[in-house]
A and B are shown apart, each in its own frame.
Chain A
Amino acid sequence: MTALIPRRVRSLASLAEALLTPHGMDRYLELVDPMLVRREIRGLVTAVRKQTPDSVTLTVRPSRAWPGFTAGQYVRLQVEIDGVRRTRCYSPCGSQYDGELEFTVKEQGLVSGHLNRAIGVGSVVNLSTPDGSFTLPATRPDRVLLIAGGSGITPVLAMARTLVDEKHPGEIVFVQYSNGPADALYRTELAELAARHPGLRVVHAHTHTEGGELRGFFTPEHLARVAPWFRDAEAYVCGPKPLMDAVREQLGERVHTEEFTPPALTFDTANAEGQVRFKRSGRECANSGKPLLEQAEEAGLSPEHGCRMGICFSCTQLKTAGRVRNAKTGEISGEEDEEIQLCISVPVGDVEIDA
C-alpha cells in the first residue's frame, strides 16, 4: 500500500507527523472530516434501505486504510451509542470486488438495534480490518454449495456475488432457508444474480410456509433434489447451529462453516485461587476458575457482552489489579489498568475488575 504513495508525499507525511506530535495527523484531520484519517478505518454510510421490517441494509464506503476483504470474512463495526463506542461483528455481503461494503443487520441487541434505528446516510462508523477464515479457497472448487439460514446469508451471499463477478465456470447452488417468503433476505437480488450467471441456481427453502422449492428444515433429501452432485461439492454454510450441524452430518469435511468458536477453551476450576472483586458494584467472590464474564454473572452482575468467545469485544472491561490468563492464547497478563475481555479472561489469583 505504502509503495503506491510516491516518496515525496511520504516524507511530507512524516514531516507533518513530526510537526503534529504528540497527537499525530489523524487527530487533526478528523476534525476537518472523519473520513480523512489515515491510520484508523472509518466507513461512511452512503445508502440505507429496508428489505424486511426487522432488518436494515447499509452501504458503507470505507476510508483509505481499508485493506479490502475476502468474501466470507467479518468486520468489527463500531458505533457510538450514548457516548460509548460499541462493537459488533458483521460480514459484508457484497462481492469482494466492490469498492463499497454492504451490511445487512437484523434488529436485535444494542448495536444492531442502533444500526436499524439511528443510522442514516452520512453517518460515520469505525471498522476493523477484516478477519475470519470462512472463505473460498484460492483455487475455486468446481461445484459449490452455498447454504444460508436467516441472517447467516451475509457471508455466503458475499461468496456468491464474488463467484459471479469472477464468472465462475462451474456449478453453484445457493439454498436459502427462511421462515417464509417475507423473511427471505435478498430475494430479488438473488433472482437477478441467478439471471446474470447461468451456473448459479438459487433455491428457496421455507421452514414455515408453502411457496418455496423446498419445504421444512434441512434434510438430506433437500440436497439430493437441488444438487444431486453434492458429494463432489464444497459446501459453505452459515446460519443457525442446527442447520450447520445437519449439513455437516451429511458432508463431513467438505462443509465449511463460519467458525466463531475459537479452539476449545480449557478452564481449571479445581485449582482456582484468590478472590475476584468487582470494584464498582462492590461484589466479591472466590475465584471459580471460570471466565470472568461467568463469574460476574454468578455474582449477580450483568455485564454487557456479545459473542462470549472473545470476538466482539463488547465485554471489555478495565482490570484494575491482578493477573488474568487469556483462555484463547494462554497468555498471562498482569498489566496495571488494562482493558480485558471478560468472556475469555480467567483470573490467576486475586483480581479486581472495574465493573
Chain B
Amino acid sequence: MTGLQDRLTPAQIEEFGRELDALRQRIVDDLGQEDVDYIHTVIKTQRGLEVAGRALLFAGFFPPAWLAGVGALSVAKILDNMEIGHNVMHGQYDWTRDPALSSQRFEWDTVAPAENWRHSHNYIHHTYTNIVDKDRDVGYGILRMDTAQKWHPYYLGNPVYATLLALFFQWGVMLHDLEVENVVKGERSWADNVPVLKKIVRKASRQVGKDYVLFPLLTGPLAPLTFLGNATANLTRNLWAFAIIFCGHFPADVESFTEEETASESRGQWYLRQILGSANISGGPLFHIMSGNLSHQIEHHLFPDIPARRYPQIAGEVRAICEKYGLPYHTGPLRKQLWSVAKKIVKLALPQTSPSPTTVEPDRQLRAA
C-alpha cells in the first residue's frame, strides 16, 4: 500500500485541493433562505414529535399509545441529535446569525454537554481524523479499532465493550470528554477535568431529571411505564447513533494514519485524509435525514461546516473527483457497513497479524527518516 503522501503527486494534490475548495465555495455562495427553511422544518417536525411522544405516554396504559409515544420520542431524539444538534453545533448555520441556530449556543437532547463535545468532536476528531493516538474517536479510548493500536489482553473484551458502548452511547460520548485514557497515561490531570466534569454533572442531571423523574412523576400511576418509555427512546437513539457513527469511520477499507505522515499537511493533503478516513452509507432521502446526513460522512468530513442537506447534492461531484484522482470512495448499504464494522470489532479483539488498511508503510517511513 502506498504512503498517504505518495498517493498523488505534489501538483496533483494541489489541483485536487483547489477543486474541492472551489466546490465548497460554490455551495457557500449559494446558501440562503432554502437552507434556513429546511432546518426550520426539521426543527418543527422534531419538536412536534417530541411533544406528541410525551403526550402519548400520558395514555401509556393503552399499549398502542405507549408504542406510538416511544416511537415518536425516539425519532424526535434522533432528529435532535443528528440532523439538528450535530450539524448546528458544527457551525453549519452560524451564517444565519440566528441565536437559536448558533453553534456556540445550541444544546442537544443528550447527557453530553455541547461545549465539551464541541472540543472533542469539532476540534479534535475533525482536525486529526483517523490519526492513531491523536483522534480519540478511534476506538473511543475503549475499543481496539485499528491494528496500529497495540494489542493487550484487555482488548479480548472488544465485542463486549462495543455492545455496552452501543447501548449506553450517550453516556459514552459524555465520558469521552473526560479523556480518561489520557489521565491514566499521565498526559492529562484530574484538575484539567474539573470544568469538564462540572458541565457533565449539570447537563446529565437535567437530562436524567426530565426523562427519569419529572415526566414519569407527571404521569402519576403510569410513572413506571413512562420511565420505561423514555428509557426505550434513549436506547433507540443510542443504538442508532452508534450504528451510523461507527459505519462512518470503521468499515474494513477505511484507512488510518500516523502522526509522522500527517505532519505539516497542506489543505489538499488534509482533504485527502478525510476521504480515505471516512465511509458513506447508501440509502434513500429519509434515511439520510435520520442519520443527520452522516450517511455522507465523506462529504461531512471534507466540509463539516456546510449545511448537511447539501451533502447529497454534492456527493456525485465528490465521487467524480475521487475517481479522477484514482482515490477510493467508500460506500455501501447500512447492513454491509455494519457487518464490516462488527467483523472488525471481533477480529481486533485478538492480536492481529495482517494489518488493517493503513497507508503507513514502515519501510518507507524509515527510508524517509
| A8 adjacent to chain B (CB < 8 Å) | no
Residues of A within 8 A of B100 (CB): 27
Chain A 41-82 near chain B by CB (<8 Å), digits 1 or 0: 000000000000000000000000000000000000000101
Residues of A within 8 A of B99 (CB): 40
Contacts A22-B206, A83-B35, A85-B98 given; does A27 touch B103 at CB 8 Å: no
A65 to chain B, nearest CB (A): 14
Contact in complex: B96, A85 (CB < 8 Å): yes
**Residue from the list A19, A22, A83, A338 in contact with B32, Cβ < 8 A:** A83
Contact in complex: A18, B47 (CB < 8 Å): no
Residues of B within 8 A of A270 (CB): none
Question: CA separation between A146 and B36, bound complex, in Å?
Answer: 44
Question: CA separation between A27 and B123, bound complex, in Å?
Answer: 27
**Residue from the list A22, A40, A84, A339 in contact with B108, Cβ < 8 A:** A22
| A249 adjacent to chain B (CB < 8 Å) | no
Residues of A within 8 A of B203 (CB): 22
Contact in complex: A19, B215 (CB < 8 Å): yes
Contact in complex: A23, B107 (CB < 8 Å): yes
| B335 adjacent to chain A (CB < 8 Å) | no
Residues of B within 8 A of A166 (CB): none
| A7 adjacent to chain B (CB < 8 Å) | no
Residues of A within 8 A of B164 (CB): none
Contacts A27-B47, A318-B94 given; does A19 touch B214 at CB 8 Å: yes
| B95 adjacent to chain A (CB < 8 Å) | yes
User: How many Cβ-Cβ contacts under 8 Å join chain A to chain B?
Assistant: 65
Residues of B within 8 A of A333 (CB): none
Chain A 8-30 near chain B by CB (<8 Å), digits 1 or 0: 00000001001101110001100
| B104 adjacent to chain A (CB < 8 Å) | yes
Residues of A within 8 A of B36 (CB): 80, 83
Within 8 A of A (CB), among B116-175: 123
> How many chain B residues touch A (Cβ–Cβ < 8 Å)?
36
Contact in complex: A316, B97 (CB < 8 Å): yes
Contact in complex: A21, B207 (CB < 8 Å): yes
Residues of B within 8 A of A80 (CB): 36, 96, 98
| B33 adjacent to chain A (CB < 8 Å) | yes
Question: CA separation between A83 and B97, bound complex, in Å?
Answer: 9
> How many chain A residues touch B (Cβ–Cβ < 8 Å)?
23
Query: What is the predominant secondary structure among interface residues of chain B facing chain A?
Result: helix
Question: CA separation between A27 and B44, bound complex, in Å?
Answer: 10
Residues of A within 8 A of B91 (CB): 318, 337
Chain A 95-133 near chain B by CB (<8 Å), digits 1 or 0: 000000000000000000000000000000000000000
Contacts A336-B123, A337-B103 given; does A18 touch B214 at CB 8 Å: yes
Residues of B within 8 A of A84 (CB): 32, 95-97
Contact in complex: A18, B97 (CB < 8 Å): no
Residues of A within 8 A of B103 (CB): 337
Question: CA separation between A85 and B99, bound complex, in Å?
Answer: 10
Residues of A within 8 A of B47 (CB): 23, 27-28, 31
Question: CA separation between A298 and B251, bound complex, in Å?
Answer: 49
A313 to chain B: closest residue by CB: B97
A335 to chain B: closest residue by CB: B104
Question: CA separation between A338 and B209, bound complex, in Å?
Answer: 31
Question: CA separation between A252 and B342, bound complex, in Å?
Answer: 81
B93 to chain A: closest residue by CB: A83
Residues of A within 8 A of B207 (CB): 21-22
**Residue from the list B37, B51, B210 in contact with A21, Cβ < 8 A:** B210
| B289 adjacent to chain A (CB < 8 Å) | no
Contact in complex: B28, A280 (CB < 8 Å): yes
Contact in complex: B123, A28 (CB < 8 Å): no
| B253 adjacent to chain A (CB < 8 Å) | no
| B31 adjacent to chain A (CB < 8 Å) | yes
Contact in complex: B94, A18 (CB < 8 Å): no
Residues of A within 8 A of B179 (CB): none
Question: CA separation between A269 and B25, bound complex, in Å?
Answer: 33
Give 19 A-B contacts (CB < 8 Å), ordered by A residue.
A18-B214, A19-B215, A21-B209, A22-B109, A22-B203, A23-B109, A27-B100, A28-B47, A31-B43, A31-B47, A40-B99, A80-B36, A83-B31, A84-B96, A85-B97, A280-B25, A280-B28, A318-B91, A339-B94
State the A residues within 8 Å of B (CB): 15, 18-19, 21-23, 27-28, 31, 40, 80, 82-86, 280, 316, 318, 336-339
Given contacts A22-B109, A31-B47, 10 further A-B contacts (CB under 8 A): A15-B214, A18-B209, A18-B214, A22-B206, A31-B48, A83-B35, A85-B96, A85-B97, A85-B98, A339-B94
